[in-house]
Protein backbone atom coordinates (compact mmCIF):
# COMPACT_ATOMS: atom_id res chain seq x y z
CA UNK A 1 0.00 0.00 0.00
CA UNK A 2 1.16 3.51 -0.80
CA UNK A 3 2.37 5.39 2.25
CA UNK A 4 0.03 8.33 1.63
CA UNK A 5 -2.99 6.05 1.40
CA UNK A 6 -1.98 4.38 4.67
CA UNK A 7 -1.55 7.78 6.34
CA UNK A 8 -4.91 9.04 5.06
CA UNK A 9 -6.92 5.98 6.05
CA UNK A 10 -5.38 4.93 9.36
CA UNK A 11 -7.96 5.82 11.96
CA UNK A 12 -9.14 4.46 15.29
CA UNK A 13 -10.85 1.11 14.66
CA UNK A 14 -12.63 0.29 17.90
CA UNK A 15 -14.88 -2.50 16.62
CA UNK A 16 -12.78 -5.57 15.91
CA UNK A 17 -13.81 -9.05 14.82
CA UNK A 18 -13.25 -11.36 17.82
CA UNK A 19 -13.62 -14.51 15.73
CA UNK A 20 -11.11 -13.81 12.95
CA UNK A 21 -7.59 -14.91 13.85
CA UNK A 22 -4.55 -12.69 13.27
CA UNK A 23 -1.41 -14.53 12.17
CA UNK A 24 1.83 -14.54 14.16
CA UNK A 25 3.58 -13.45 11.00
CA UNK A 26 1.44 -10.32 10.65
CA UNK A 27 1.99 -9.45 14.31
CA UNK A 28 5.74 -9.83 13.88
CA UNK A 29 5.58 -7.59 10.79
CA UNK A 30 3.78 -4.75 12.55
CA UNK A 31 5.94 -4.94 15.68
CA UNK A 32 9.05 -4.94 13.50
CA UNK A 33 7.70 -1.83 11.76
CA UNK A 34 7.38 -0.22 15.19
CA UNK A 35 11.02 -0.99 15.99
CA UNK A 36 12.20 0.72 12.79
CA UNK A 37 11.28 4.17 14.10
CA UNK A 38 13.97 6.51 15.30
CA UNK A 39 14.65 7.17 18.98
CA UNK A 40 16.82 9.51 21.03
CA UNK A 41 20.42 8.37 20.59
CA UNK A 42 19.02 5.36 18.68
CA UNK A 43 18.63 3.71 22.10
CA UNK A 44 15.28 2.09 21.20
CA UNK A 45 13.82 2.13 24.71
CA UNK A 46 10.38 0.78 23.76
CA UNK A 47 9.36 -2.81 24.46
CA UNK A 48 6.33 -4.27 22.70
CA UNK A 49 4.42 -6.75 24.83
CA UNK A 50 2.16 -8.82 22.59
CA UNK A 51 -0.68 -10.42 24.54
CA UNK A 52 -2.42 -13.34 22.83
CA UNK A 53 -3.25 -15.50 25.84
CA UNK A 54 -7.06 -15.45 26.18
CA UNK A 55 -7.16 -15.35 29.99
CA UNK A 56 -4.74 -12.45 30.13
CA UNK A 57 -6.65 -10.57 27.45
CA UNK A 58 -9.86 -11.04 29.41
CA UNK A 59 -8.23 -9.71 32.59
CA UNK A 60 -6.74 -6.75 30.72
CA UNK A 61 -10.17 -6.09 29.27
CA UNK A 62 -11.70 -5.94 32.76
CA UNK A 63 -9.02 -3.59 34.07
CA UNK A 64 -9.50 -1.42 31.00
CA UNK A 65 -13.28 -1.27 31.31
CA UNK A 66 -13.02 -0.12 34.92
CA UNK A 67 -10.86 2.82 33.86
CA UNK A 68 -13.05 3.84 30.94
CA UNK A 69 -16.15 3.69 33.10
CA UNK A 70 -14.67 6.05 35.66
CA UNK A 71 -13.28 8.34 32.93
CA UNK A 72 -16.48 8.57 30.93
CA UNK A 73 -19.01 8.89 33.70
CA UNK A 74 -18.30 12.60 33.97
CA UNK A 75 -18.51 13.07 30.17
CA UNK A 76 -21.93 11.49 29.75
CA UNK A 77 -23.90 14.72 29.69
CA UNK A 78 -21.94 15.86 26.61
CA UNK A 79 -23.18 12.97 24.49
CA UNK A 80 -26.58 14.59 24.13
CA UNK A 81 -25.26 17.90 22.83
CA UNK A 82 -22.60 16.99 20.24
CA UNK A 83 -23.37 14.24 17.69
CA UNK A 84 -19.68 13.69 16.77
CA UNK A 85 -18.76 13.18 20.41
CA UNK A 86 -21.80 10.93 20.87
CA UNK A 87 -20.67 8.71 17.98
CA UNK A 88 -17.14 8.49 19.30
CA UNK A 89 -18.32 7.74 22.83
CA UNK A 90 -20.50 4.94 21.49
CA UNK A 91 -17.51 3.24 19.85
CA UNK A 92 -15.39 3.97 22.94
CA UNK A 93 -17.98 2.16 25.08
CA UNK A 94 -17.97 -0.71 22.60
CA UNK A 95 -14.20 -0.98 22.92
CA UNK A 96 -14.40 -0.77 26.71
CA UNK A 97 -16.82 -3.70 26.81
CA UNK A 98 -14.97 -5.83 24.23
CA UNK A 99 -11.26 -4.95 24.48
CA UNK A 100 -10.40 -8.35 25.92
CA UNK A 101 -11.97 -10.08 22.91
CA UNK A 102 -9.60 -8.44 20.43
CA UNK A 103 -7.38 -11.25 19.03
CA UNK A 104 -4.22 -9.39 20.08
CA UNK A 105 -3.43 -6.66 22.59
CA UNK A 106 -0.10 -4.85 22.38
CA UNK A 107 1.16 -2.96 25.41
CA UNK A 108 3.96 -0.43 24.82
CA UNK A 109 6.44 -0.19 27.68
CA UNK A 110 9.71 1.56 28.50
CA UNK A 111 11.74 2.74 31.47
CA UNK A 112 11.59 6.50 32.08
CA UNK A 113 9.40 8.77 29.98
CA UNK A 114 10.83 8.72 26.45
CA UNK A 115 7.57 9.88 24.87
CA UNK A 116 8.94 10.87 21.47
CA UNK A 117 10.81 7.58 21.06
CA UNK A 118 7.69 5.63 22.02
CA UNK A 119 4.95 7.20 19.95
CA UNK A 120 6.76 7.49 16.62
CA UNK A 121 7.05 3.70 16.81
CA UNK A 122 3.36 3.36 17.69
CA UNK A 123 2.44 5.21 14.50
CA UNK A 124 4.65 2.90 12.43
CA UNK A 125 2.84 -0.05 13.99
CA UNK A 126 -0.61 1.34 13.23
CA UNK A 127 0.29 2.24 9.62
CA UNK A 128 1.80 -1.21 9.02
CA UNK A 129 -1.33 -2.82 10.48
CA UNK A 130 -3.51 -0.70 8.17
CA UNK A 131 -1.50 -1.91 5.17
CA UNK A 132 -2.23 -5.51 6.22
CA UNK A 133 -5.94 -4.78 6.69
CA UNK A 134 -5.67 -4.86 10.49
CA UNK A 135 -7.47 -2.30 12.62
CA UNK A 136 -5.88 -0.67 15.66
CA UNK A 137 -6.47 2.14 18.07
CA UNK A 138 -4.08 3.71 20.53
CA UNK A 139 -5.53 4.05 24.00
CA UNK A 140 -4.00 5.12 27.29
CA UNK A 141 -7.13 4.53 29.36
CA UNK A 142 -5.63 1.47 31.09
CA UNK A 143 -3.47 3.83 33.17
CA UNK A 144 -5.88 4.11 36.12
CA UNK A 145 -5.10 0.41 36.70
CA UNK A 146 -1.46 0.50 35.59
CA UNK A 147 -0.11 -1.30 38.67
CA UNK A 148 -2.53 -4.19 38.19
CA UNK A 149 -1.73 -4.36 34.47
CA UNK A 150 1.99 -4.53 35.28
CA UNK A 151 1.45 -7.23 37.90
CA UNK A 152 -0.60 -9.33 35.47
CA UNK A 153 2.15 -9.27 32.85
CA UNK A 154 5.23 -9.36 35.10
CA UNK A 155 6.42 -5.90 34.10
CA UNK A 156 9.28 -4.64 36.30
CA UNK A 157 8.77 -1.75 38.73
CA UNK A 158 11.05 0.62 36.82
CA UNK A 159 9.20 0.14 33.52
CA UNK A 160 6.21 2.30 32.60
CA UNK A 161 3.36 1.58 30.20
CA UNK A 162 2.47 4.16 27.55
CA UNK A 163 -0.27 2.72 25.44
CA UNK A 164 -2.47 -0.27 24.84
CA UNK A 165 -3.26 -1.17 21.23
CA UNK A 166 -5.96 -3.73 20.39
CA UNK A 167 -5.34 -5.36 17.01
CA UNK A 168 -7.78 -7.27 14.82
CA UNK A 169 -9.72 -7.26 11.59
CA UNK A 170 -12.18 -4.37 11.73
CA UNK A 171 -15.93 -4.87 11.71
CA UNK A 172 -16.34 -1.35 10.30
CA UNK A 173 -15.16 0.01 6.98
CA UNK A 174 -11.91 1.75 6.17
CA UNK A 175 -12.12 5.32 4.96
CA UNK A 176 -10.49 8.69 5.26
CA UNK A 177 -10.01 9.75 8.86
CA UNK A 178 -12.16 12.76 9.81
CA UNK A 179 -9.62 15.54 10.39
CA UNK A 180 -9.60 19.33 10.31
CA UNK A 181 -8.13 21.14 7.27
CA UNK A 182 -4.36 21.61 7.45
CA UNK A 183 -4.81 25.41 7.22
CA UNK A 184 -6.34 25.42 10.71
CA UNK A 185 -3.44 23.51 12.20
CA UNK A 186 -0.33 25.00 10.61
CA UNK A 187 1.35 28.41 10.54
CA UNK A 188 4.13 30.01 8.54
CA UNK A 189 7.11 31.82 10.10
CA UNK A 190 5.19 32.92 13.18
CA UNK A 191 2.36 31.78 15.40
CA UNK A 192 -1.06 32.51 13.89
CA UNK A 193 0.16 33.43 10.41
CA UNK A 194 -1.45 31.57 7.53
CA UNK A 195 0.56 28.72 6.00
CA UNK A 196 -0.74 29.32 2.44
CA UNK B 1 6.28 4.63 -2.20
CA UNK B 2 5.20 1.49 -0.37
CA UNK B 3 4.49 2.09 3.31
CA UNK B 4 6.88 -0.67 4.43
CA UNK B 5 9.74 0.77 2.37
CA UNK B 6 9.09 4.20 3.88
CA UNK B 7 9.06 2.71 7.39
CA UNK B 8 12.28 0.76 6.79
CA UNK B 9 14.25 3.63 5.27
CA UNK B 10 13.12 6.63 7.30
CA UNK B 11 16.07 7.50 9.48
CA UNK B 12 17.62 10.63 10.95
CA UNK B 13 19.05 12.69 8.08
CA UNK B 14 21.20 15.33 9.74
CA UNK B 15 23.13 16.51 6.68
CA UNK B 16 20.78 18.49 4.45
CA UNK B 17 21.49 20.39 1.24
CA UNK B 18 21.24 24.11 2.09
CA UNK B 19 21.16 25.15 -1.57
CA UNK B 20 18.33 22.94 -2.86
CA UNK B 21 14.92 24.52 -2.43
CA UNK B 22 11.94 22.62 -1.02
CA UNK B 23 8.59 23.48 -2.61
CA UNK B 24 5.66 24.93 -0.69
CA UNK B 25 3.56 22.14 -2.12
CA UNK B 26 5.78 19.42 -0.65
CA UNK B 27 5.77 21.15 2.73
CA UNK B 28 1.98 21.36 2.67
CA UNK B 29 1.84 17.65 1.77
CA UNK B 30 4.00 16.54 4.68
CA UNK B 31 2.26 18.81 7.21
CA UNK B 32 -1.09 17.57 5.99
CA UNK B 33 0.15 13.99 6.51
CA UNK B 34 1.02 14.97 10.09
CA UNK B 35 -2.51 16.25 10.67
CA UNK B 36 -4.02 12.93 9.53
CA UNK B 37 -2.76 11.11 12.62
CA UNK B 38 -5.14 10.23 15.41
CA UNK B 39 -5.28 12.13 18.68
CA UNK B 40 -7.04 11.79 22.03
CA UNK B 41 -10.70 12.54 21.45
CA UNK B 42 -9.75 13.55 17.87
CA UNK B 43 -8.99 16.97 19.34
CA UNK B 44 -5.87 17.48 17.17
CA UNK B 45 -3.95 19.64 19.65
CA UNK B 46 -0.74 19.89 17.58
CA UNK B 47 0.17 23.03 15.66
CA UNK B 48 2.86 22.85 12.97
CA UNK B 49 4.91 26.02 12.70
CA UNK B 50 6.75 26.04 9.38
CA UNK B 51 9.75 28.38 9.43
CA UNK B 52 11.09 29.40 6.02
CA UNK B 53 12.22 32.95 6.78
CA UNK B 54 16.03 32.96 6.56
CA UNK B 55 16.66 35.32 9.46
CA UNK B 56 14.41 33.33 11.78
CA UNK B 57 16.04 30.07 10.72
CA UNK B 58 19.46 31.53 11.46
CA UNK B 59 18.35 32.66 14.91
CA UNK B 60 16.75 29.27 15.63
CA UNK B 61 20.01 27.68 14.51
CA UNK B 62 21.98 29.71 17.02
CA UNK B 63 19.62 28.90 19.88
CA UNK B 64 19.78 25.23 18.91
CA UNK B 65 23.59 25.15 18.73
CA UNK B 66 23.87 26.62 22.22
CA UNK B 67 21.73 23.80 23.61
CA UNK B 68 23.55 21.03 21.77
CA UNK B 69 26.92 22.39 22.90
CA UNK B 70 25.91 22.31 26.54
CA UNK B 71 24.27 18.88 26.16
CA UNK B 72 27.18 17.24 24.35
CA UNK B 73 30.09 18.67 26.30
CA UNK B 74 29.63 16.03 28.98
CA UNK B 75 29.35 13.23 26.41
CA UNK B 76 32.59 14.00 24.58
CA UNK B 77 34.69 11.39 26.36
CA UNK B 78 32.41 8.63 25.07
CA UNK B 79 33.18 9.42 21.43
CA UNK B 80 36.56 7.75 21.72
CA UNK B 81 35.27 4.46 23.08
CA UNK B 82 32.24 3.60 20.91
CA UNK B 83 32.50 4.01 17.12
CA UNK B 84 28.71 4.01 16.58
CA UNK B 85 28.28 6.80 19.12
CA UNK B 86 31.22 8.66 17.58
CA UNK B 87 29.59 8.56 14.14
CA UNK B 88 26.29 9.75 15.49
CA UNK B 89 27.88 12.54 17.49
CA UNK B 90 29.70 13.70 14.39
CA UNK B 91 26.46 14.09 12.47
CA UNK B 92 24.80 15.64 15.54
CA UNK B 93 27.56 18.27 15.63
CA UNK B 94 27.08 18.84 11.91
CA UNK B 95 23.37 19.46 12.48
CA UNK B 96 24.10 21.74 15.45
CA UNK B 97 26.33 23.92 13.28
CA UNK B 98 24.07 23.96 10.22
CA UNK B 99 20.48 23.63 11.49
CA UNK B 100 19.66 27.22 10.49
CA UNK B 101 20.71 26.49 6.91
CA UNK B 102 18.11 23.77 6.41
CA UNK B 103 15.60 25.09 3.86
CA UNK B 104 12.70 24.52 6.27
CA UNK B 105 12.39 24.10 10.02
CA UNK B 106 9.16 22.76 11.48
CA UNK B 107 8.41 23.34 15.15
CA UNK B 108 5.70 21.17 16.72
CA UNK B 109 3.63 22.96 19.36
CA UNK B 110 0.60 22.32 21.57
CA UNK B 111 -0.94 23.43 24.83
CA UNK B 112 -0.51 20.96 27.68
CA UNK B 113 1.48 17.75 27.27
CA UNK B 114 -0.42 15.59 24.78
CA UNK B 115 2.66 13.52 23.90
CA UNK B 116 0.89 10.64 22.18
CA UNK B 117 -1.19 12.98 20.01
CA UNK B 118 1.94 14.93 19.04
CA UNK B 119 4.45 12.27 18.12
CA UNK B 120 2.21 9.98 16.06
CA UNK B 121 1.77 13.00 13.78
CA UNK B 122 5.51 13.65 13.72
CA UNK B 123 6.09 10.13 12.40
CA UNK B 124 3.49 10.67 9.65
CA UNK B 125 5.35 13.85 8.67
CA UNK B 126 8.74 12.11 8.53
CA UNK B 127 7.40 9.15 6.52
CA UNK B 128 5.65 11.46 4.05
CA UNK B 129 8.87 13.47 3.68
CA UNK B 130 10.81 10.26 3.03
CA UNK B 131 8.37 9.33 0.27
CA UNK B 132 9.05 12.72 -1.38
CA UNK B 133 12.82 12.28 -1.05
CA UNK B 134 13.06 14.82 1.79
CA UNK B 135 15.27 14.15 4.78
CA UNK B 136 14.17 14.94 8.35
CA UNK B 137 15.24 14.32 11.89
CA UNK B 138 13.27 14.85 15.08
CA UNK B 139 15.19 16.75 17.71
CA UNK B 140 14.17 18.13 21.08
CA UNK B 141 17.51 19.78 21.84
CA UNK B 142 16.12 23.29 21.38
CA UNK B 143 14.38 22.94 24.74
CA UNK B 144 17.18 24.52 26.82
CA UNK B 145 16.30 27.74 24.97
CA UNK B 146 12.55 27.13 24.68
CA UNK B 147 11.55 30.57 26.03
CA UNK B 148 13.73 32.35 23.46
CA UNK B 149 12.42 30.11 20.68
CA UNK B 150 8.85 30.94 21.68
CA UNK B 151 9.60 34.67 21.82
CA UNK B 152 11.20 34.59 18.36
CA UNK B 153 8.12 32.99 16.81
CA UNK B 154 5.39 34.67 18.86
CA UNK B 155 4.25 31.45 20.51
CA UNK B 156 1.76 32.06 23.37
CA UNK B 157 2.75 31.40 26.98
CA UNK B 158 0.36 28.47 27.39
CA UNK B 159 1.71 26.62 24.34
CA UNK B 160 4.65 24.22 24.64
CA UNK B 161 7.11 23.08 21.98
CA UNK B 162 7.75 19.35 21.54
CA UNK B 163 10.12 18.96 18.65
CA UNK B 164 12.08 20.74 15.97
CA UNK B 165 12.31 19.06 12.57
CA UNK B 166 14.74 20.33 9.93
CA UNK B 167 13.60 19.42 6.41
CA UNK B 168 15.62 19.34 3.20
CA UNK B 169 17.09 17.14 0.51
CA UNK B 170 19.70 14.91 2.15
CA UNK B 171 23.39 15.08 1.30
CA UNK B 172 23.76 11.48 2.46
CA UNK B 173 22.22 8.36 0.99
CA UNK B 174 19.00 6.65 1.95
CA UNK B 175 19.23 3.15 3.32
CA UNK B 176 17.81 0.86 5.95
CA UNK B 177 17.89 2.41 9.41
CA UNK B 178 20.28 0.61 11.78
CA UNK B 179 17.97 -0.99 14.35
CA UNK B 180 18.12 -3.95 16.74
CA UNK B 181 16.35 -7.21 15.82
CA UNK B 182 12.68 -7.27 16.78
CA UNK B 183 13.27 -10.33 18.99
CA UNK B 184 15.26 -8.16 21.42
CA UNK B 185 12.49 -5.59 21.70
CA UNK B 186 9.27 -7.61 21.89
CA UNK B 187 7.77 -10.15 24.26
CA UNK B 188 4.83 -12.53 24.19
CA UNK B 189 2.18 -12.76 26.92
CA UNK B 190 4.56 -11.71 29.68
CA UNK B 191 7.61 -9.54 30.23
CA UNK B 192 10.82 -11.24 29.12
CA UNK B 193 9.18 -14.11 27.25
CA UNK B 194 10.31 -14.66 23.68
CA UNK B 195 7.96 -13.38 20.94
CA UNK B 196 8.80 -16.23 18.48
Residue A116: pLDDT over 80 = yes
Mean pLDDT of B104-130: 98
Q: Residue A86 has what pLDDT? A: 83
Task: Read off the pLDDT of residues A41-93 as tens digits, 9 standing for 90 and up.
Answer: 999 999 999 999 999 999 999 999 999 999 887 766 665 677 878 888 889 99
pLDDT more than 90, % of chain A: 87
> B117: pLDDT confidence band, cut at 50, 70 and 90?
very high
- Give the pLDDT of residue A187: 98
Best of B47, B124, B142 to disrupt the A interface (most A CBs within 10 Å) is B124
CA gap A182, A74 in Å, rounded: 31
For residue A42, the model assigns a pLDDT of 93
pLDDT of A38 over the 90 cut: yes
Q: Is residue B11 very low, low, confident or very high in pLDDT (cuts 50, 70, 90)?
A: very high
> What pLDDT sits at residue A153?
98
Instruction: Decide if pLDDT at B163 tops 80.
Output: yes
End-to-end CA distance of chain A: 29
Instruction: Show Cβ contacts of residue A80 under 8 Å, excluding neighbours closer than 6 positions.
Output: A86
**Chain A interface disruption, residue of B38, B50, B83, most A CBs within 10 A:** B38
What's the mean pLDDT in A96-114? 98
Which among A172, A106, A3, A20 has a CA at the least distance from the CA of B29? Answer: A3
pTM: 0.96
Q: Which residues in chain B touch residue A52, judged by CB atoms under 8 angstroms apart?
A: 188-189
Helix, coil or strand: residue B176: coil
What is the ipTM for the molecules in this complex?
Answer: 0.96
Give the pLDDT score at A83: 82
The predicted structure's pLDDT at residue B86:
82
Which chain B residues in 59-78 lie under 8 Å from chain A, judged by CB atoms?
Answer: none
Look at residue B80 in the predicted model and tell me its pLDDT: 62
Nearest Cα neighbor of A98 from A171, A174, A14, A162 is A14
Q: Which residue has the higher pLDDT, B75 or A105?
A: A105
Q: Residue A52: closest CA among chain B residues belongs to which residue?
A: B189
Residue among A117, A4, A174, A2 at smallest CA distance from B28? A4
Residue A31 scores a pLDDT above 80: yes
Mean of the pLDDT values across residues A107-132? 98
* Average pLDDT, integer, range B94-118: 98
Statement: residue B110 has pLDDT above 90: yes
Closest CA to A156 of B65, B53, B47, B192: B192
The pLDDT score that the predictor gives to residue B82 is 78
Q: Which residue of A has its CA nearest to B55?
A: A189
User: CA of A126, closest CA in chain B: separation in Å?
Assistant: 10
C-alpha A58/C-alpha A64 separation (Å) is 10
Minimal-distance CA residue of chain B relative to A75: B41
Q: Which helix (H) or strand (E) holds A146?
A: helix A146-153
**pLDDT in the model for residue B75:** 67
A74-83, B97-106, B166-175: segment of lowest average pLDDT: A74-83
B40 touching chain A per CB within 8 A: yes
- Region label for B62, one of left (φ > 0), alpha (ψ between -120 and 50) or beta (otherwise): alpha
Report phi then psi at A76, rounded to 5: -55, -35
pLDDT (0 to 100) of residue B89: 86
Subunit contact B48:A189, Cβ cutoff 8 A: no
Chain B residues whose CB is inside 8 A of the A4 CB are 33, 128, 131
B56 neighbourhood in chain A, CB within 8 Å: 189-190
pLDDT reported for residue A78: 62
| Angle, alpha carbons A146-A151-A155 (nearest 5°) | 85
Q: Which of A14-18, A83-87, A174-178 has the highest mean pLDDT?
A: A14-18
Residue A191 has its nearest CB partner, among B49, B121, B189, at B49
Cα separation, A34 vs B106, in Å, equals 23
Beta strand A104-111 with B104-111: parallel, antiparallel or unpaired? unpaired
Say yes or no to pLDDT of B74 above 80.
Answer: no
pLDDT computed for residue A81 by the predictor: 72
Note the pLDDT of residue A185: 98
DSSP characters for B125-146?
Answer: HHHHHHHTT-EE--B-GGGGGH
Amino acid sequence: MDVFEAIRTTRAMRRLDPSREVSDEDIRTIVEAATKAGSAGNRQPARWLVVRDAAKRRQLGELYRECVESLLREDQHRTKTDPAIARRLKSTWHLARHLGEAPVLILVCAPGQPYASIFVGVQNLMLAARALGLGTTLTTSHLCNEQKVKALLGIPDDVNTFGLIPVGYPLGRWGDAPRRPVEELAYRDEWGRELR
